Amino acid sequence: MVSIFDLINDPKSKQALHTLNEERRVWLDWKPFAEVKAKSATLPDVAAEVFDFSQAKVVIGEQREESDPLFQQIDETCKAILPWKKGPFQLFGVDIDAEWRSDYKWDRLRAKLPSLKGQNVLDVGGNNGYYAFRMLADEPAYVLNIDPVPRLWYQFNLLQHFARRTELEFFMWGWQETAHFKHLFDTIFCMGIIYHHHDPIQILKYLYQALRPGGLLVLESIVIPGEEDVCLFPADRYAKMRNVWFVPTAAAMTNMLRRTKFEDIEVIAVNRHESEEQRTTEWNPGQSHADFMDPDNPERTIEGYPAPHRAVLFARRPPR
């Protein structure tokens, strides 16, 4: 099995990450996760033999009937870790219809994405690993998914308990920990997180240094429409999200990449964010995109800001 600790050469970085793992392991014992921890501990030792990572729905395990004890146990365990934000998945016949149809985003970038075959790949803020599993269709050498949220750790490890993909790892790390990754990755995905943080330039600098020379960054973000290189800075919330610090135009995002030394910058896609892509489901029973928009004007958020679009940009670290 490949591990990030095999790739990192600096002993201090290795030790820092090991220490952080020990500190964050305590998070898994928090009271909200007691039920899923108990249920996960009793899952049978069954390795999936059927996989499909090439279609919209990530399939792990052969189809089972609802009356099958394995189906029932998996279904109960999955529902103990609601909400599921990213998907869809099918785990031994259990259909996990997550809030996000994450395949929409994947399809927007996949047509122009070079093959990941044989590569070391990083997904920063990769949630429960939906995109990491989709990457496996290309046969990469190694994929690291990081996200500092224990609920997502439990979701990923439930899937991985049956998938047992030795080229795939998940750690509860944030973008800050990418400072320890020096020239390690051929491709880095950073999708749907940069606007949640108040220092986007530092994030891009860390991702730049984590790439090998010539490596590719896939950057995806909420944007506002317009040709000007400007950013919206919400007074309080944007689309009911308190943790949105800025919403750039695609032109402004291009400038951020250029100012942090990336080259060959290309805007791959810009699409209006629609409720078909993000919605309330059984697996995410709370509010979703439709609740965040002005009911009388779909061009505006509930706060009166321009409605979100989503942009995908490719950028490379120079090969020298």
Q: Specify whether the CB–CB gap between 217 and 190 falls below 8 A.
A: yes
pLDDT at 288: 98
Q: Which domain holds residue 307?
A: 4-31+100-316
CATH of the domain at 184: 3.40.50.150
**Domain contains 86:** no
Q: State the total domains in the chain.
A: 1
User: pLDDT tens across 174-201, in order?
Assistant: 999 999 999 999 999 999 999 999 999 9
Edge-to-edge strands of the sheet including 185-191? 168-171, 142-146, 120-124, 185-191, 211-223, 309-316, 263-272
User: What would the mean pLDDT of 205-225 be, rounded to a whole number?
Assistant: 98
User: What would the mean pLDDT of 296-306 be, rounded to a whole number?
Assistant: 96
At 29, is the pLDDT very low, low, confident or very high (cuts 50, 70, 90)?
Answer: very high
**Domain contains 190:** yes
**Domain contains 126:** yes
Q: How many Å apart are CA 204 and CA 201, to the nearest integer?
A: 5
User: pLDDT tens across 56-114, in order?
Assistant: 999 999 999 999 999 999 999 999 999 999 999 999 999 999 999 999 999 999 999 99
Edge-to-edge strands of the sheet including 89-91? 51-52, 58-60, 89-91, 94-96
At 12, is the pLDDT very low, low, confident or very high (cuts 50, 70, 90)?
Answer: very high
| CB contact set of 235 (below 8 Å; sequence gap of 6+) | none
Has residue 2 got a pLDDT over 90? no
| CB contact set of 174 (below 8 Å; sequence gap of 6+) | 125, 146, 147, 148
**Domain contains 240:** yes
Measured over the CA atoms of residue 154, residue 158, residue 159 and residue 163, the dihedral's sign is positive
Q: Specify whether the CB–CB gap between 168 and 136 falls below 8 A.
A: yes
Closest CA to 21 of 183, 184, 128, 170: 170
At 1, is the pLDDT very low, low, confident or very high (cuts 50, 70, 90)?
Answer: confident
pLDDT at 320: 83
**Domain contains 83:** no
User: pLDDT tens across 241-276, in order?
Assistant: 999 999 999 999 999 999 999 999 999 999 999 999
**Domain contains 79:** no
User: pLDDT tens across 127-185, in order?
Assistant: 999 999 999 999 999 999 999 999 999 999 999 999 999 999 999 999 999 999 999 99
Q: What is the mean pLDDT of the chain?
A: 97
**Domain contains 292:** yes
**Domain contains 51:** no
